[in-house]
Amino acid sequence: MTTDMGSPALRLAEIRRVRPEDAARMRALRLEMLADAPLAFLETLADAAARPHNEFAARVAYTSAGAGNAQFVADPGGRLVGHAGGTTHPNEPGLTVIYAVYVTPAWRGSGLLGELIDGVAAWSRACGRPELLLEVVVGNDRAYRAYQRLGFKDTGVRVPHPNIPALTELQMRRTA
């Protein structure tokens, strides 16, 4: 659980694995993520908004259980305020790839990012994967520094952005 000391009222958010009943709130958070940081995620706001609710619900149900793919959310009650996902790596069985990390602007700087990553890390360890990998767009210095503070190290590996040829991503790793 985390607190946000930046607001007049003390707020708490539970960090937990997504549940099937979170589908509508996850859809709202996904649309917020895409509107706020369009270069950070692998789909457009228009594509996500056009996707039917049952597709969001199926994705949430899929990631709510099992060892292959998981989504963790920050839930203060009401609207979700943060997300981090984890999935297996096809070529490295001991590795979890972290994806779709997001903290809503009002909660940034509250420690929520670290708690979301810790949620993915605990799940990764429980699944027998002791290492984490994530990718950050080169030039996104705020995210890069935040991940460094959480123990991630730049591997020196650079890869093309999967959707935008003009961008490059850098890989960072740490133990789970």
What's the per-residue H, E or C state across 76-134? CCCCCCEEEEEEECCCCCCEEEEEEEEECHHHCCCCHHHHHHHHHHHHHHHCCCCEEEE
- Name which of 130, 139, 174 is nearest 153 in CA terms: 174
Q: How confident is the model at residue 6 (pLDDT cuts 50, 70, 90)?
A: very low
pLDDT at 40 (0 to 100)? 82
The pLDDT of residue 9 is above 50: no
**Pairwise CA distance, residues 159 & 110, whole Å:** 30
Say if CB 104 and CB 32 are below 8 A apart. Answer: yes
- Residue-range domain boundaries for the chain: 14-175
Q: Which residue has the tokens 């490059």?
A: 168
**Pairwise CA distance, residues 75 & 48, whole Å:** 21
First to last CA, the chain: 19
pLDDT at 149 (0 to 100)? 97
26 or 40: which leads in pLDDT: 26
Instruction: Give the domain 14-175 fold.
Output: Aminopeptidase (3.40.630)
pLDDT, average across residues 4-25: 77
Query: Tell me: the pLDDT tens digits for 31-73?
Result: 999 999 887 888 889 999 999 999 999 999 999 999 999 999 9
Kindly report the pTM of this predicted structure. 0.91
**In whole numbers, what is the pLDDT of the chain averaged over residues?**
92
Percent of the chain's residues with pLDDT above 70: 94
The pLDDT of residue 11 is above 70: no
Helix (H) or strand (E) holding 24, with range, is helix 23-36
Bridging pattern class, strands 131-137 and 95-103: parallel
Say if CB 102 and CB 83 are below 8 A apart. Answer: yes
The pLDDT of residue 143 is above 80: yes
